[in-house]
Amino acid sequence: MTPTVPTVLVLDADPPPRLGRLTGRARIVHTDAAHLAERLPAADVLLVWDFTSHAVRGAWPGGGPRPRWVHAASAGVDHLMCPELAASDTVVTNARGIFDQPVAEYVAALVLAVAKDLPRTLEYQRERTWRHRETRRVAGTRACVVGSGPVGRATVRALKALGVTTALVGRVPRTGVHGPDDLDRLVSRADWVIAAAPLTERTYRMFDARRFGVMQPSAFFVNVGRGDLVDEEALARALARRWIAGAALDVFAAEPLPADSALWELPGLIVSPHMSGDTVGRRDELGAQFVEFYERWAAGRALPNVVDKTRGYVPGH
């Protein structure tokens, strides 16, 4: 009798993951959001390949068995968590480790581009306008990085390499990491404020009107964490009133950002389409990571990147 292999249900996005290495060791079933609920009971493992989908939240509370393990091919898991999943025995893991350096490089690129006024240089080039300006030194400026996970720590390393004095803020204070009580003081002194925290009840819209009001008029704000870390209306007012010098958002409360959103044309705001961690070859990296995790899971070994479902992120940072 042929041994039964575990069923891996993949919530697809285009292109789908390459899981050829699991041939003969897993039964791969692909699904879209519309059929997720009916296929969940037969799955041993759920791979949430579509990091933009919220379908798991709606499908999970139904009847019948549920997968023993859910893996998100993303750093954030807020898009799939629901009370029923949080309360279950199902293990949830994420793609921690894939996006850290790319996001840090993106933040460093933004800092350099803003300090060296590259957006206006390109604009003047299109206009065939020769306009000499002086730009800012990056070395010697200060940054406050909010979020002490792998992305935040990689961002600190990248900024330090540019000569930026950095302060890292996390959920709890410890060696090399400031706690939340220090945030306002650090933000008020920073030239660059970087949001790289996970989305939780404690971090929801932590960057609001009061916090933008604390920042220096010369400060530049960057969000590469989650869209709902920021009160977008408060940010728009802060930019319009010149409470801060500018901002860059790579993540938004609603994605894709609607074409009629005022954020597209807000003076001083750089908009990018949730791409800071997306580098050439990253899908292959994500697929290889899942295969590696699956091999550990199938062998009965402990899984890496286990998410604390009550906190919403991998603890230990």
- Residues with active-site annotation: 226, 255, 274
Q: What is each CA distance from 96 to 102, 227, 304, 313, 315, in whole angstroms?
A: 12, 18, 9, 10, 11
> Which residue in this structure is represented by tokens 């068995």?
65
Could you tell me how many residues make up the chain? 317
Q: Which one-letter amino acid corresponds to residue 91?
A: V
Residues near 286 by beta carbon (within 8 Å), at least 6 away in sequence: 17, 49, 73, 95, 98
Q: Which two tokens stand for residue 29?
A: 């079933």
Nearest-angstrom CA–CA distance, 141 and 191: 6
81-105: burial string, b at 16+ Cβ within 10 Å, e else: beeebeebebbbbbbbebbbbbbbb
Residue 209 has a CB neighbour count (10 Å cut-off) of 14
Q: Nearest-CA neighbor of 314 among 163, 105, 205, 171?
A: 171
* Alpha helix (H) residue ranges in the chain: 36-39, 55-59, 83-87, 100-115, 118-127, 150-161, 183-189, 209-214, 232-240, 282-298
173-194: burial string, b at 16+ Cβ within 10 Å, e else: eeeebbeeeebeebbeebbbbb
Omega prior to 256 cis, within 30 of 0: yes
Contact between residue 186 and residue 144 where contact means Cβ atoms under 8 Å apart:
yes
